[in-house]
Amino acid sequence: PRSPITVLGLGAMGRAFTREFLGGGHPTTVWNRTPGKDGELVAAGAAAAATIGEAVRASRLVVVCLLDHRSVHEALDPVAGALEGRAVVNLTSTTPDEARELAAWAKGHGIDYLDGGIMATPDMIGQPPASLLYSGSRTVFDEHGPALRLLGSADYFGEDAGLASLYDFALLAGMYLMFAGFSHGAAMMRSAGVPAAEFAERAVPWLTAMAQTIPFGTTAVDTGDYTTDVQSLDFNKAAVDAIVRASRDAGVGLDAIAPVKALIDRQVADGHGAESFNRIFEGLKPVSAPP
Ligand code: NDP
C-alpha cells in the first residue's frame, strides 16, 4: 500500500491534488475550513476529517494549499503540536520571505518543511505540462518525491525555502509582462478594427519565436559586458519611440509600453546607446545583490 497523505484546503488546487493522490493509490485524508467541499472526493475514496487535528494525525505527509501566507498560519498554528515530526509540503503561493518565515516557524516546532510553487492551473495538475517547483527540506523532497510527481514534474532548488517561490514569481513576472504586451498590441489593432483573435494568430508564433532568442542575451546579463555589433540601444530607442508615437496616434494607453521606454531612455541617457538592449537589466537589478 502507498503512504497516506493529508490534503489541507479543498480549493480548486487542493481538490485536483486529492484526485491525483487517490489515483496514485495513496490513502488520502482531506480537510477544508468550510465544510461541504469534499463530497466528490469522498465518493472517489478520500477520507473526510472532521477537524484539522484529525486530518493532520492521519498522515506523515501533510500537503497544504490555502489562499495565502496568513491563511496557512491561521490553519496550522493551532495544530503545530500535532504536526511535530511530520512533513509539511506547502504549495500555497507565498512570497520568498513568507516561505522562509514559515520554514523557520516549522523548524521551531520540529516540523519538516518543504515549500513549493505551482506552475499550472488546476485542470493541468497531473498532466505533463504541469511543473511544480520545490525548495526547503531535501529529506521531504527525496522521501515523498514519487507522490509529489503525481501532481506534475517536480524540481528541487535547495534548502532555502524561499527559492521555489522566487522562481515561481520571477516566471510569473515574465508571463504578466508578456500578456500586458499582448493587450497593448491588441489595443493597437483595435484602432483598425482587427479582432484580438485575429491578432493572436500572428502574436503567438511571433512571441514564441522571440522567446527562443532569450538565451542569446544571458551571457551579457551575467558578465555585464553589453557590447554588441547587432541591434544597439540607440536602434531600440528609435523603434520603441516609434511604437509609442504609433500607439498615441491610435489612441492606445501608454501604461504598458512606457516603462519599457523609460528603461531604454535611462541607459541611453547614461551614455550606453551603443550597447545592447539587454543593458536595461542594469536599471532593474538589486544594487546589493551578488554580481
Ligand atoms: P481557491 O480560492 O479555490 O481555494 C482557497 C482555499 O483556501 C479554500 O480551500 C479556502 O477555504 C482556503 N482558505 C482561505 N483562507 C483560509 C483560512 N484563513 N484558513 C483555512 N483555509 C483557508 O484557491 P486555489 O485552490 O485555486 O489556490 C490555492 C493556492 O494555490 C493559492 O495560494 C494560489 O495562489 C495557488 N495557485 C493557484 C493557481 C490556480 O490557477 N488556481 C495556480 C498556481 C498557484 P474555504 O473553502 O473555507 O474558503
The CATH number of whichever domain residue 237 belongs to comes to 1.10.1040.10
What is this structure's pTM? 0.94
Q: Which residue range forms the structural domain that includes residue 90?
A: 5-159
Cα 15 to middle of ligand 1, angstroms: 10
Residue 291 three-state SS: coil
Domain count, the chain: 2
Instruction: Name the residue of 38, 66, 98 whose CB sits within 8 Å of the most ligand 1 atoms, as the mutation to test its pocket.
Output: 66
Same domain, yes or no: 24 and 83: yes
Give pLDDT tens digits for 185-218: 999 999 999 999 999 999 999 999 999 999 999 9
Residue 288 lies in a domain: no
Same domain, yes or no: 15 and 52: yes
Give pLDDT tens digits for 71-92: 999 999 999 999 999 999 999 9
Give all strands (DSSP E) within the chain, no chain letters: 5-8, 28-31, 47-48, 61-64, 87-90, 112-119, 131-136, 153-156
Give pLDDT tens digits for 167-191: 999 999 999 999 999 999 999 999 9
Q: Which of 159, 189, 215 corresponds to the end of one domain?
A: 159
Cα 67 to middle of ligand 1, angstroms: 4
Provide residues with CB under 6 Å of ligand 1. 9-14, 32-34, 37, 65-68, 71, 74-75, 92-93, 118, 121-122
- Structure ipTM: 0.99
Residue 33 CA: nearest ligand 1 atom is: 47
Rounded to an integer, what distance in angstroms lies between the CA atom of residue 82 and that of residue 54?
9
Same domain, yes or no: 142 and 193: no
> How much is the mean pLDDT over the chain?
97
Same domain, yes or no: 144 and 178: no
Same domain, yes or no: 108 and 31: yes
Cα 120 to middle of ligand 1, angstroms: 14
Cα 9 to middle of ligand 1, angstroms: 7
Residue 291 lies in a domain: no
Residue 92 CA: nearest ligand 1 atom is: 32
Same domain, yes or no: 132 and 202: no
